[in-house]
A and B are shown apart, each in its own frame.
Chain A
Amino acid sequence: MEYVNPEGLRLDGRRFNEMRQIVAEVGVVSKADGSAVFEMGNTKVIAAVYGPREIQNKSLQKKNDHALVLCEYSMAQFSTGDRRRQKFDRRSTELSLVIRQTMEACILTELLPHSQIDIFLQVLQADGGTRSACINAATLALADAGIPMRDLAVSCSAGYLNSTPLLDLNYVEDSAGGADVTVGILPKLDKVTLLQMDAKLPMETFETVFALASEGCKAIAERIREVLQENTKQLEYRRAA
């Protein structure tokens, strides 16, 4: 099947280095301390952050003078085409672990000892790149909750089909059997926190795809910064009024 036609257009009309449209909104769940909705094309994710609050389960605490970060990733049963049978399967467990560890790297946990930060992620529409959308949504929600972070954690995915590196795969491109590289970076510090890859790639091709995904991450970081600045302006405006 042809995923990139000879003119260089993909199935949805994008070029190889174009991302899908991003729509982000902050402060959607009124009960939560911080929340956000993040859309990348048809993938829609909602994140809610509760914290810092008192530790509910002391046996989970590993480091006494650091905050405990808990994360739960789940896909709604209506998020994919066919109704999903189980909400929590092994993929959800692994993604909860991975996203938790990614956010832990960017939250300044030593400033909030003996407390717990809960991040709840719910995928409402899944069209490829859900874990990237979740990390971006979690970053926005944590910023909305006012939790101190050393940098914004942003994430983007890239793949390799028809001998072309492609940025921001959707579900059809992802299930084509080509490589899928998900990268999570801290843009100001220029450090890689999350890196996951599946399917075979020769070393040089991987470096190209990795560089493309990092570029995509930097573009998303710009967008997230814009959204947060816009949100702060709105808060200031309402306070002044």
Chain B
Amino acid sequence: MEGRFANLWRLTVNESKFVESALQSELRVDGRGLYDYRKLTIKFGKEYGSSEVQLGQTHVMGFVTAQLVQPYKDRPNEGSFSIFTEYSPMADPSFEPGHPGESAVELGRIIDRALRESRAVDTESLCVLAGKLVWSVRIDLHILDNGGNLVDAANIAALAALMTYRRPDCTVGGESSQEVIIHPPEEREPLPLIIHHLPIAFTFGFFNKGSILVMDPTYVEEAVMCGRMTVTVNANGDICAIQKPGEEGVNQSVVLHCLRLASSRAAATTKIIREAVEAYNRERSSQKVKRHHTLAKSEVSGPIVVVRKRQQQKKSSGQEKAAEIHFWLWLWWLIVTFWR
């Protein structure tokens, strides 16, 4: 938080003392235990690759898009991905629109490092034409409400969006097999990204010169805490990234304690994310079947058209009969007149 509005909101001395003294007795202001997380809900949008994550009051949305670009010269066979964070001013009055501030850049880089260096997203499968065309995946994270602990929520939003994203299928063809044809989703089913493992971020807050440890700090706790650490682990027990950006010094034992706490929770959070993604995929595929029902409904309106046609036929046949009778009468009169 920096800029003109950085200090518009300041915690009062009373509030900060209350939070600190409550933590001395292992009580948190919102009644949670020291290592409890707030309620996590994951929702998805209409498009492939859009997710909405709520962690308590923190609200983050993630969007994934992809486009074909030229690869980097030193990695001609690999696709690339990049993360952009948007700190919307409606989330927090201290966020300024436009140029991302320090904390926005830091958040983007923590999530980027966790996904890139630990090779969670398979980049080799994103290669279309080696050295010429690769898929470049772009993850946009929008912070809608800053209730504290943006890193964890944004990380889950990015993972959920990546797991539900489908990229268009493309074939290499043409005369010299240099042409790439991108198939629209109606022609060919789009393909999911290959994700090897899910690196999940857990943020710790330090209080009282590093002696009190808290997981998932809220906005108020973040303003009071003297240091923080984000540990990114996956369910296989690997540590994917650690970020402790200076601030209060802590003992080595505290660092290792944090790592163990994070590793023990990774499996549970991975399960929550995978279940949410599977529920979304099931709903999506059942929606495709429903589309045929609406076509059947339109057939019900068919008979009305048929009825109208029959009435028209009745009218025309009456007219035809009258004309016919008229013809025969005239013929009979002709014969009678000229037969004499």
Contacts and interface: CB of A to CB of B under 8 A. Distances in A.
B40 to A, nearest CB: 24
A85 B294 CA distance: 56
The 9 tightest CB contacts between A and B, nearest first, are: A191-B249, A101-B246, A102-B246, A195-B244, A198-B117, A197-B242, A199-B117, A98-B245, A200-B118
Contacts of A177: 117
Interface in B1-25: 2-4, 6-7
Interface stretch (A38-46, A87-95, A120-128): A87-95
A197 B106 contact: no
Given A104-B246, A194-B244, A200-B239, A91 B259 contact: no
A214 B245 CA distance: 16
30 contacts: A59-B7, A90-B108, A90-B109, A93-B106, A94-B106, A99-B246, A101-B247, A102-B245, A104-B246, A104-B247, A190-B251, A191-B210, A191-B250, A192-B244, A192-B249, A194-B245, A195-B242, A196-B245, A198-B114, A198-B117, A198-B118, A199-B118, A200-B117, A201-B239, A203-B239, A203-B259, A203-B263, A206-B239, A207-B256, A210-B252
Contacts of A61: 7
A195 B109 contact: no
Interface in A101-134: 101-105
Interface of B: 2-4, 6-7, 102-103, 105-106, 108-109, 113-114, 117-119, 210, 227, 229, 234, 237-252, 255-256, 259-260, 263
Given A90-B108, A206-B259, 7 more contacts: A59-B7, A93-B105, A97-B102, A100-B246, A195-B229, A195-B244, A195-B255
Contact of B240 (A93, A102, A200): A200
Contacts of A196: 242-245
Contacts of B2: 60
Interface in A10-51: none
Interface string A182-225: 00111001111111111111110011001000100000000000
Contacts of B242: 181, 195-197
Nearest to B234: A200
Contacts of B240: 198-200
A202 B7 contact: no
Interface of A: 59-62, 90-91, 93-94, 96-105, 177, 181, 184-186, 189-203, 206-207, 210, 214
B98 to A, nearest CB: 15
Given A200-B118, A203-B263, A62 B7 contact: yes
A59 B4 contact: yes
A99 B102 CA distance: 12
Contacts of B250: 191-192
A180 to B, nearest CB: 8
A193 B108 contact: no
Most buried by B among A177, A210, A214: A210
A241 to B, nearest CB: 40
Given A94-B109, A200-B238, A192 B6 contact: no
B187 to A, nearest CB: 38
Contacts of A189: 249
A85 B181 CA distance: 34
B241 A202 contact: no
Given A101-B246, A104-B247, A186-B249, A192 B239 contact: no
A123 to B, nearest CB: 18
Contacts of B234: 200
A35 to B, nearest CB: 21
B155 to A, nearest CB: 15
Given A59-B6, A200-B118, A101 B245 contact: yes
A105 B239 contact: no
A156 to B, nearest CB: 14
A190 B247 CA distance: 15
Nearest to B245: A98
Contacts of A207: 256
Given A200-B119, A202-B238, A203-B263, A93 B102 contact: yes
A19 to B, nearest CB: 20
Contacts of B243: 195-196
A59 B255 CA distance: 34
Most buried by B among A62, A96, A186, A214: A62
Contact of B251 (A93, A103, A192): A192
A212 to B, nearest CB: 13
A47 B252 CA distance: 28
Nearest to A181: B242
A202 B7 CA distance: 41
